[in-house]
């Protein structure tokens, strides 16, 4: 695109933008089982109006826009109270779970620099199921991630193995409530005790679960303690734009006290420009997400959230029961809330996802690991609960279709991948592999089974490089 010499009309612009969406998945129909969290039209409209009313207000300087300070402290305090923090707990709004997690790791690193200056190569201990944002934070902040394997039956990390991974360089422990991949909660209480015994910070990633699990508890569901009531928990991240049903992007990062939180904040008077004080990563930031979060919390209230969560949990249980009843499918572990994954020993689940995609469904594929099989992930939200029966019906039919098709030549694909790894010209070999998988140019693939099968066969380090190169070519 070039900037036009003469500006276009409002109608032309809006029509063009709408046309860009023509190939997007229709999330409003409730057939996309990840990425979007739909509270219904009335709450969404309130959020939209609130978001737009603060679109141009800037959260950079609260002395100019005190409304931003009001919105941020109101929302953070509401979530802190929901997660049973006391009057000493504090928090900030961020653009999403990734920023919240990066800030929690940055806080641990900077606190260690002051209080444990003998640590020159800081490490954080995290389960293999921890979100990739921790690996991103480690990469950005030069903190070594020490991965702990999980129980292959429950998909939870074992506390004793977390304890065994602690050493003189450890600055932070990490656990999930729940983990995204299988929706199970790590043993937060046991890990909190380990953190206390070693004098370590302990971050709980409750980005997906913070609000949902808290309201489940209020509804009487058996939810293990994962929040600030657990001794040893020093920080928590909770996304409002997931199961808080706020607009993208809004998350909260919370700390047990200001004494910890102060290491998150950055200030700079070392230039000729204005004084810069940033509690979070961004400097300039729109007030829209903050206002949208404030609006949805007040519009739904506790009653509205509990009504939504009750409906979502009932739909989730119906879906899990239905999937378990389909021959050849099994749900992994015992999900704690409305997120879970399922696998199969009889069909290739990547082919199953493609077959469902032909019927307009999007179900997320997840790669295998030494402790987890390849699987498909589902996140149930309020906007998808009405489609449980339709999803199960199509899933049963698609299972039979995939059974009747020739399976992917997994052995052949792995042989091709192995040959590429051994090639004297890896760049050319992987270029051919990318072409075979359909990962070339700027066209997005329409089917993912062969691609996922190929990527699943690659070692993680090579797969990551492969994907970086593909995205480097995609965005031109």
Of 155-164, 256-265, 408-417, 435-444, which gets the smallest average pLDDT? 435-444
Give 34's DSSP letter.
S
pLDDT value, residue 421: 76
Instruction: Share the mean pLDDT of the chain.
Output: 94
For the chain, give the percent of residues with pLDDT over 90: 84
pLDDT digits (tens, 9 = 90+) for 321-376: 999 999 999 999 999 999 999 999 999 999 999 999 999 999 999 999 999 999 99
Those residues whose C-beta lies under 8 Å from the C-beta of residue 63, and which sit 6 or more positions away, are none
CA distance 354 to 336: 27
Q: Do the Cβ atoms of 215 and 306 come closer than 8 Å?
A: yes
pLDDT value, residue 147: 98
Using the predicted structure, report yes or no on whether residue 437 has a pLDDT greater than 80. no
pLDDT value, residue 157: 98
pLDDT value, residue 433: 73
Q: How far is CA 385 from CA 40, 193, 209, 237, 310, in A?
A: 11, 38, 18, 26, 11
Q: What is the pTM of this model?
A: 0.95
For the chain, give the percent of residues with pLDDT over 70: 99
Between strands 330-331 and 170-176, the pairing is unpaired
Query: HEC string of 122-177?
Result: CEEEEECCCCHHHHHHHHHHCCEEEEECECCCCCCECHHHHHHHCCCCEEEEEEEC
Instruction: Please report, for the chain, the start and end positions of each structural domain, with discontinuous segments joined by +.
Output: 50-296, 410-474
pLDDT value, residue 417: 78
Of 110-124, 344-358, 424-438, which gets the smallest average pLDDT? 424-438
Continuous segment of H or E residues that includes residue 94: strand 90-94
CB atoms within 10 A of CB 31: 21
Compute the average pLDDT of residues 70-83: 98
CA distance 85 to 78: 10
Compute the average pLDDT of residues 180-190: 98
CB atoms within 10 A of CB 286: 18
pLDDT value, residue 444: 79
Using the predicted structure, report yes or no on whether residue 165 has a pLDDT greater than 90. yes
pLDDT digits (tens, 9 = 90+) for 224-249: 999 999 999 999 999 999 999 999 99
Question: For the chain, how far is it from start to end, CA to CA, in angstroms?
Answer: 11
Residue 127's pLDDT band (cuts 50, 70, 90): very high
Residue 426's pLDDT band (cuts 50, 70, 90): low
Residue 424's pLDDT band (cuts 50, 70, 90): confident
Using the predicted structure, report yes or no on whether residue 74 has a pLDDT greater than 90. yes
Q: Do the Cβ atoms of 408 and 351 come closer than 8 Å?
A: yes
pLDDT digits (tens, 9 = 90+) for 280-332: 999 999 999 999 999 999 999 999 999 999 999 999 999 999 999 999 999 99
470-476 contacts: CB < 8 A, separation 24 or more? 470/434, 470/439, 473/440, 473/441, 473/442, 474/442, 474/444, 476/442
Residue 113's pLDDT band (cuts 50, 70, 90): very high
Residue recorded with tokens 């999900």: 335
Q: Give the residue ranges of DSSP H helices in 376-459.
A: 388-403, 410-422, 426-437, 449-456
Of 23-32, 337-346, 409-418, 444-453, which gets the smallest average pLDDT? 409-418
Task: Please tell me the class of the 50-296 domain.
Answer: alpha beta
């Amino acid at each position: 695109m070039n900037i036009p010499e003469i500006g276009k009309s409002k109608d032309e612009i809006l029509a063009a933008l709408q046309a860009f969406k023509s190939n997007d998945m229709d999330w409003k129909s409730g057939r996309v089982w990840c990425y979007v969290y739909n509270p219904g039209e009335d709450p969404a409209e309130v959020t939209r109006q609130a978001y737009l009313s603060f679109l141009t207000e800037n959260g950079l300087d609260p002395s100019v826009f005190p409304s931003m300070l009001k919105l941020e402290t109101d929302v953070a305090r509401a979530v802190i109270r929901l997660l049973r923090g006391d009057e000493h707990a504090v928090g900030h709004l961020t653009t999403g779970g990734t920023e919240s997690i990066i800030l929690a790791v940055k806080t641990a690193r900077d606190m260690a620099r002051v209080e444990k200056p003998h640590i020159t190569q800081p490490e954080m201990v995290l389960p293999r199921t921890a979100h990739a944002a921790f690996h991103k934070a480690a990469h950005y902040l030069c903190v070594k991630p020490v991965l702990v394997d999980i129980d292959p039956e429950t998909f939870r990390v074992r506390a004793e193995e977390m304890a065994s991974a602690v050493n003189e360089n450890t600055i932070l422990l990490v656990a999930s409530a729940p983990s995204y991949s299988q929706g199970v909660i790590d043993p937060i209480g046991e890990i909190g005790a380990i953190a206390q015994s070693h004098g370590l910070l302990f971050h709980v990633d409750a980005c997906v679960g913070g609000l949902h699990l808290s309201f489940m508890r209020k509804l009487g569901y058996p939810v293990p303690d994962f929040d600030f009531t657990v001794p040893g928990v020093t920080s928590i991240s909770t996304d409002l734009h997931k199961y808080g049903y706020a607009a993208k992007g809004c998350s909260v990062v919370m700390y047990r006290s200001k004494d910890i939180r102060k290491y998150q904040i950055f200030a700079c008077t070392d230039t000729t420009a204005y004084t810069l004080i940033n509690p979070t990563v961004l400097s300039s930031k729109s007030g829209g997400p903050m206002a949208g979060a404030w609006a949805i919390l007040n519009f739904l209230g506790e009653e509205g959230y509990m009504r939504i969560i009750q409906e979502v949990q009932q739909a989730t249980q119906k879906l899990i029961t239905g999937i378990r009843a389909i021959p050849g499918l099994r749900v992994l572990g015992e999900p704690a809330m409305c997120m879970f994954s399922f696998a199969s020993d009889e069909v290739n689940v990547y082919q199953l996802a493609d077959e469902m995609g032909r019927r307009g469904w999007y179900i997320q594929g997840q790669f295998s690991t030494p402790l987890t099989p390849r699987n498909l992930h589902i996140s149930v939200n309020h906007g998808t609960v009405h489609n449980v029966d339709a999803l199960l019906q199509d899933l049963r039919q698609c299972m039979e279709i995939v059974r009747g098709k020739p399976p992917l030549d997994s052995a052949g694909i792995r042989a091709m991948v192995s040959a590429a790894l051994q090639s004297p010209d890896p760049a050319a070999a992987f270029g051919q592999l990318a072409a075979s998988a359909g990962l070339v140019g700027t066209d997005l693939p329409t089917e993912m089974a062969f691609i996922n099968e190929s990527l699943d066969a690659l070692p993680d380090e090579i797969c990551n490089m492969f994907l970086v190169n593909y995205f480097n070519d995609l965005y031109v």
